[in-house]
Each structure stands twice: as structure tokens, then as C-alpha cells.
Amino acid sequence: MTDMPALSLFTLLTDRLGKRLQPIQATKATLVDVSHTLEDLVLHERLPALIFTGFQESSHWRAETERYRELAGVAHQICIFAGGQLPPESDQKQIHVRLHGPDPLRQEWFLLVLTERFTAVLCGRDLQAPALSEGDRRFQTIWTFEPDLITEIIAVLHEVVARERPDRLVDLETAIERFPPPPPDAHLLTLFTTRMIDDLVRQHEARLQLESMLAYESRLRALGQVLSGVAHELNNPLQGILGFAGLIAETPEQAPSTLEEAGYIVEAARRAQTIVQSLLQLSRPNSSEPALARLNEIIDQTVIFVRADMSSYGINLTITSEPEVAPVLVNRVRIQQLLINLLTNAIQALAGQPGAHQIEMIVRQPSPEWVELRIHDNGPGIATELHERVFEPFFTTKAPGEGTGLGLSIVRTIVEEHQGHLKLESGPLRGTTFSILLPTGAKHKPETASAQAEDNGAGLVLVIDDDPQIVLLLERVLKRAGYAVRAERNPEAGLRRVLHEHFAVIISDLLMPEMPGTEFYERLIRLNPALAHRIIFITGDATRPTTQAFLQGTGQPYLLKPFTTQQLLSSVAQLLAAHPPLVVAHGSAIVEPAPARAPEANESA
Ligand code: ADP
């Protein structure tokens, strides 16, 4: 068999029907959408049908079985074409036809649906052109609802079955007789087009969401520049206010009420000055060069500034560190600023709270490239819905005069300046933990420098999202950061990949039409329980109680759309820091499992 040329249904049909079939070009994503819409019509309308379908890879059989079993429950007869081996037919309704030829990965698509109320054919051949993602692969495609053409296509398929499965020909002929191709039923055509339009609208919305995400990032950058300009301009008038109010306050012959009022002006101007300085820090370019420094030393030299505050609120501070932590490549003053901001927030959160007050600082080195600092307080925590907002400039929940709302945006800016990663974990009963990953000097490569597409040791990442734009975005961002990436729009296909490849991180959408992320997660951990800690969810809405309960139950990180590239990379890096990738050679074979890591014991902090 193997010396025969691969049997292509597409070629057979175009050779036989020639100009009467006008091939169009379609992407794989479109073929998937159209096929599923057609199959869903059969399922939802419970239409008895004769269905011819083809797998690109017979190994996909196992994963697609559920869907086809469901279809077979409704359909009268299903005829499945595939390259390579197919499992045995499990009932009379199925006819399995193995298409001969040396290539079990036939890059062909085939679906013919024949019901009493409509009929349609979709057949495509991969153009084998380079594509950005799997869904973007282009297929030369035949697509028709015309009964006359479909009658001729069925005759061709009949010949193929007669040659490859003569034992099942009678069953097929009975089905063909039962379903003479009808002219399309207006109601079903309306249903079909409505679903396709819905799908287009959804894709359009996703594109808009992506655009607004990109626009948001550039707006933030522009805002930073404006803020810095405004802050500079404000410094002069503020100087005047402070100076003249000071003069008034220092003139002894003033009435006491005037002195008091001048004091208020000075106080208000000082507050304004603090805000201006924070704004400048927020937008200040990283002036001095980073240098290697021991994080523990910087911490020791910084906490002295807040010790007095801590003891006045009865706060106990512990600083623990792994024994051998590599120096970090940092701008010392900026890291001190970051520490002061985080510690001040923790102190303010604990002040006035009942019970024992505790701030813990933990330094560890989860991988040769990164040092991690965790700052944990057992205060009231930050509500999940505020996790994004707290980093926005001017967002504060504090009383006027107590907070400017700039502390955490400065922290984020400083972490970004260092090409580090920042993560917030907080909930009402858990207190608040900020984890910061800072690069060690020696081996760190800036993430943006690598456009390498294949695994450079950073780890293999699997991305699953039904939305082609999101898949494309994640693929690009992660590849640019040096990760090797596999992307799938169908969770089922993602599960198949998990069987054959070793993923360090799996990023999955929660809301997908094919299979919800919740089900994907359950099936994933059934396949490989060790992957339970390697998943990051993405979702457009984490406020639904069911979603919240699920996310809390898994304890896994999630990203709320729209998220920034920084947040994405930060999540992946944090996950890898806690669960380093297995050492992989040549893409898939594990040569050396990573040793069990002591630092994980600290994870519960
Ligand atoms: P500010 O402290 O001036 O309000 P930040 O940007 O530093 O501005 O913080 C924004 C908000 O984040 C705070 O108002 C507070 O609601 C919340 N927050 C920050 N750190 C903590 C913490 N450790 N515990 C509880 N809430 C916090």
C-alpha cells in the first residue's frame, strides 16, 4: 500500500468535476467554524443524515470520538475517511475507510452532510504555505449547497468506498438511496447563516478587544509622558506657594489665625509636592545603570526607615532568606523606593486592625536567572475585583491625605524597568502577598532580545483559546520572550498535544464554545495530574460566582482580559519560578527531570 500515491479526495473531485467547482481559499479556522456549524445543525435539529467526514490525522480519532458518537446518535450513517489506522467500527452506523498512501497526516479537510432538508459539501486541501498559527493555515476549498454537484460528488465517494470497503458498500448504497440530495431548505439556510454571522460578530468583538488592549498600553505610555511634563511644570508654582506661605508663617507679628492658616497652606502644598514627586518617579526614565547588589543588604538598609512606624503599630517584621542567593542586577535606589512603597502599604493596611500584626519578607532563588522577594502581610487583603485597579495611577481606597494612589503604579514601573515580574496574591482571609522576581546578574538575558521560536530551555508553552486573534497575540508575545509555543483553538486538540509533548505552562481560556475551560482542566488533570500546577487561566469575566469558585478551587493563577503583555509574561515567569520546566532536549524527549525543589515549601506564604 505504501508505494501508492496518497489518495486525495480534493484532487479526485477537482479532476472529475473540473470547472463546475470553483475552489476558494479559506483558513483552517474557517473550515473548523463552517464544519462545526453544519454538524451542530444536524445535532440541534436532530436531522437523520448521511455524513461523510475525514480526519486530517487518524490519530485524532480518539479525541474526536465523543463528537462523532454524538453525531452518529442522530445520523443514519457516518462514513469516515482517514489516513493511517482507524479503530474498529463500533456499530453498523459507521463505515471507516482508510485512504491509502504514505502520508498519514493528510492535510485535507472533508465534510459532506446529506439530510432530507439540506445538503452541503466542504472539502479543502492545505496549500502548505507558511502561516502564523495553525488556524491561519490556508486551504484551497470547495464549498457548495448545490444538489446536482453533490450528487456527482457522492458518486465519486461511492467509487472510493467500493474500492476500499466493498464489504460495507451495501450499507452505503442504502443510505444514499434514502437521502437524495434536496434543494436547500430556507429555514435551515437561515439558521446556518445566522450562526456564521454570530461567529463573525464574535470574532470582530475579539479583534476590537485586542485593539483596545494594545491601545490601552500605548495610552498608559503617553499618560506617563504627560504626567512627567505636568509634574515638572507644577514644581515651580508649588515652590512659590510653599515659600511664600512659609514666609507668612515665619513672620512673628502675624495674627494667630493667619499663622494657623499659613500652616495649613504649607501642609497642603507639601502634600501636593509629595504627589508631584511620585508622578516624577512614575515616569522617570531609569537614569543610573543597574549594578549587582545583594537584595538582603538592600532590604536591611531600607527597613530601618519604617521600623519606627512598625513598632508604633505593634507590627512584627520577619526577614528570611535562602542561604545562597545570587546578587541581583538592579538600580539600588529604585529598589529601595519599591520596598518603601510596599512596606508602607502593608503598615497602613495593618494599622487599626485587630489581632497580631505580621509582615514577612522572604528572599529565595527559584532558578539561576531569578531572585524572588515576597512581602506578605496578614492585613485585611485586597478584594479580587480590585487586583487590577490597585496598580492604576491615582487609585486609592485611603482617606484623603493618607494615600495618593501612586505607590503601586510606581512599584510596577520599577519592576518593569528591571525587566522583572510582579504578582499580587490577596484575599480577605489570606492577607496580601506581593511577589517580585528580579533578574540575577550573571546569566540573565533580557526577554525581548530573543526572537527564538524554539525552546531555549525557557519552557514549552501551550496556548488554548478559541479566538484566533488572542491565540496569535499570545503566540507572538511568548515567542518574542523566548518561549517555544504551541497554540490550539480547540481544547480537544490541546489535550491531544498534552499526550505527546511536555508543557511547562498551559494557558487556557475559560469560555470556549467547544469545551469550557473548566472541563478542559478536569480532563487535563485526569490525563496528567502533574499538570494541575502548570495552568494559567484567561478569562474575560472573573466576577461570576461559578467562575470565582472554580478559580479559587484550582488555586491557579488567572489573567483578566484585557491584560498587558507584561502581566502575561509575569504570570508565566512566576509559574515557572514555582514549577521550573523539565529539561527537554530536541523538543520533546525528557532527558533529565528537574529535581524536587526545596523552595516550593515556601509557596504557602
Ligand atoms: P495608596 O497607598 O496611596 O492608596 P497604592 O497605589 O500604593 O496607593 O495602593 C492602592 C490601593 O491598593 C490602596 O489604596 C489599598 O486599597 C490597596 N493596597 C495596597 N497595598 C495593600 C495591602 N498590603 N493590603 C491591603 N490593601 C492594599
Which residues lie below 8 Å from residue 130, measured CB to CB, with a gap of 6+?
Answer: none
Residue entry with cell 498587558:
564
Does 440 fall in a domain?
A: yes
Which residues lie below 8 Å from residue 511, measured CB to CB, with a gap of 6+?
Answer: 517, 539, 540, 541
Among residues 436, 228, 231, 437, the alpha carbon closest in space to that of 342 is found at: 436
Our count of domains for the chain comes to 3
55 φ, ψ to 5°? -100, 145
**Ligand 1 within 6 A of 388 CB?**
no
**Ligand 1 within 6 A of 397 CB?**
yes
**What is the rounded CA–CA span in Å between residue 430 and residue 605?**
9
Does 427 fall in a domain?
A: yes
Compute, in angstroms, the gap from residue 274 CA to the centroid of ligand 1: 16
What percent of the chain clears pLDDT 90, i.e. is strictly above it?
26
pLDDT at 597: 31
Give yes or no for residue 589 having a pLDDT over 90. no
Answer whether 453's CB lies under 8 Å from 432's CB. no
**Predicted confidence band at 66 (pLDDT cuts at 50, 70, 90)?**
low
What percent of the chain clears pLDDT 70, i.e. is strictly above it?
83
Q: For 105-109, 408-412, 573-577, which range has the lowest pLDDT when averaged over its residues?
A: 105-109
Residue where a domain terminates, one of 121, 151, 184: 184
319 or 58, which is more confident: 319
**What is the rounded CA–CA span in Å between residue 494 and residue 501?**
10
**What is the rounded CA–CA span in Å between residue 500 and residue 587?**
11
Sign of CA dihedral 488, 492, 495, 499: negative
**What is the rounded CA–CA span in Å between residue 272 and residue 268?**
6
Compute, in angstroms, the gap from residue 424 CA to the centroid of ligand 1: 11
Give yes or no for residue 320 having a pLDDT over 60. yes
Domain that holds residue 370: 289-444
Tell me the CATH number at 366: 3.30.565.10
Residue entry with cell 459532506:
112
**What is the rounded CA–CA span in Å between residue 525 and residue 300?**
43
Q: For a pocket test of ligand 1, which of 338, 396, 413 has the largest count of ligand atoms closer than 8 A to its C-beta?
A: 396
pLDDT at 452: 33
- Dihedral class, residue 231 (left if φ above 0, else alpha if ψ from -120 to 50, else beta): alpha
Same domain, 408 and 498: no
Answer whether 509's CB lies under 8 Å from 470's CB. yes
Same domain, 67 and 176: yes
- Summarize pLDDT for 130-142 with one digit per residue, the tens: 877 667 889 999 9
Same domain, 468 and 529: yes
Compute, in angstroms, the gap from residue 392 CA to the centroid of ligand 1: 11
- Dihedral class, residue 442 (left if φ above 0, else alpha if ψ from -120 to 50, else beta): alpha
Give yes or no for residue 218 having a pLDDT over 60. yes
Same domain, 296 and 431: yes
Same domain, 472 and 565: yes
Coil/strand/helix, residue 556 = coil
Does 490 fall in a domain?
A: yes
What Å distances lie between residue 129 and 24, 28, 136, 452, CA to CA? 15, 12, 10, 21
**What is the rounded CA–CA span in Å between residue 52 and residue 80?**
6
**What is the rounded CA–CA span in Å between residue 88 and residue 48?**
23
Does 495 fall in a domain?
A: yes
Same domain, 464 and 432: no
Does 407 fall in a domain?
A: yes
Task: Tell me what the mean pLDDT of segment 154-183 comes to.
Answer: 93
276 or 492, which is more confident: 492
Compute, in angstroms, the gap from residue 492 CA to the centroid of ligand 1: 41
Compute, in angstroms, the gap from residue 408 CA to the centroid of ligand 1: 7
pLDDT at 392: 85
**Ligand 1 within 6 A of 562 CB?**
no
Does 218 fall in a domain?
A: no
**Ligand 1 within 6 A of 408 CB?**
yes
pLDDT at 318: 95
Answer whether 582's CB lies under 8 Å from 502's CB. yes
Q: For 102-106, 125-129, 319-323, 485-489, which range has the lowest pLDDT when averaged over its residues?
A: 102-106
pLDDT at 592: 27
Compute, in angstroms, the gap from residue 345 CA to the centroid of ligand 1: 5
**What is the rounded CA–CA span in Å between residue 84 and residue 66?**
20
pLDDT at 355: 85
Same domain, 495 and 356: no
Same domain, 511 and 584: yes
418 or 455, which is more confident: 418
pLDDT at 102: 62
Q: For a pocket test of ligand 1, which of 343, 378, 408, 414 has the largest count of ligand atoms closer than 8 A to its C-beta?
A: 408
Task: Tell me what the mean pLDDT of segment 12-17 comes to.
Answer: 89
pLDDT at 148: 93
Residue where a domain terminates, one of 444, 477, 509: 444
**What is the rounded CA–CA span in Å between residue 86 and residue 60?**
9
Give yes or no for residue 25 having a pLDDT over 90. yes
pLDDT at 458: 65
**Ligand 1 within 6 A of 276 CB?**
no
Compute, in angstroms, the gap from residue 466 CA to the centroid of ligand 1: 36
Q: For 7-16, 95-104, 197-206, 269-278, which range has the lowest pLDDT when averaged over its residues?
A: 95-104
pLDDT at 288: 59
**What is the rounded CA–CA span in Å between residue 112 and residue 300?**
71
Answer whether 114's CB lies under 8 Å from 147's CB. no
Same domain, 63 and 166: yes
| 579-582 long-range Cβ contacts below 8 angstroms, 24+ apart | 579/504, 579/533, 579/534, 580/366, 580/367, 580/504, 581/457, 581/458, 581/459, 581/460, 581/504, 581/505, 582/502, 582/504
**Ligand 1 within 6 A of 432 CB?**
yes
**What is the rounded CA–CA span in Å between residue 51 and residue 175?**
10
Task: Tell me what the mean pLDDT of segment 511-538 comes to.
Answer: 87
Same domain, 524 and 582: yes
Task: Tell me what the mean pLDDT of segment 261-275 comes to.
Answer: 84
Tell me the CATH number at 582: 3.40.50.2300
**What is the rounded CA–CA span in Å between residue 314 and residue 356?**
8
Give yes or no for residue 180 having a pLDDT over 90. yes
Which residues lie below 8 Å from residue 100, measured CB to CB, with a gap of 6+?
Answer: 1, 4, 6, 7, 164
- Dihedral class, residue 463 (left if φ above 0, else alpha if ψ from -120 to 50, else beta): beta
Compute, in angstroms, the gap from residue 423 CA to the centroid of ligand 1: 14
Same domain, 559 and 594: yes
**Ligand 1 within 6 A of 282 CB?**
no
Half-sphere exposure of 370 (CA within 13 A, CB side): 28
**Predicted confidence band at 33 (pLDDT cuts at 50, 70, 90)?**
confident
Give yes or no for residue 144 having a pLDDT over 80. yes
Cell digits of residue 550: 472554580
- Does the pTM surpass 0.75? The reply is no
- The pLDDT mean for the chain works out to 80
Among residues 210, 49, 226, the alpha carbon closest in space to that of 120 is found at: 49
What Å distances lie between residue 7 and 11, 84, 97, 595, CA to CA? 8, 12, 11, 49
Residue where a domain terminates, one of 184, 218, 234: 184
**Ligand 1 within 6 A of 382 CB?**
yes
Among residues 568, 597, 581, 217, the alpha carbon closest in space to that of 422 is found at: 568
Tell me the CATH number at 144: 3.30.870
187 or 19, which is more confident: 187
Q: For 223-227, 245-249, 374-378, 414-418, which range has the lowest pLDDT when averaged over its residues?
A: 223-227
**Ligand 1 within 6 A of 398 CB?**
yes
Same domain, 380 and 469: no
Packed helices 468-480 and 565-578: angle between N→C axes, nearest 10 degrees:
60
Does 573 fall in a domain?
A: yes
Cell digits of residue 581: 520546566
Give yes or no for residue 601 having a pLDDT over 70. no
Q: Which atom of ligand 1 is nearest to the CA of 404?
A: 3
**What is the rounded CA–CA span in Å between residue 377 and residue 583?**
35
Answer whether 78's CB lies under 8 Å from 71's CB. yes
**Ligand 1 within 6 A of 554 CB?**
no
Compute, in angstroms, the gap from residue 407 CA to the centroid of ligand 1: 7
Does 190 fall in a domain?
A: no
Compute, in angstroms, the gap from residue 221 CA to the centroid of ligand 1: 22
pLDDT at 282: 61
pLDDT at 26: 92
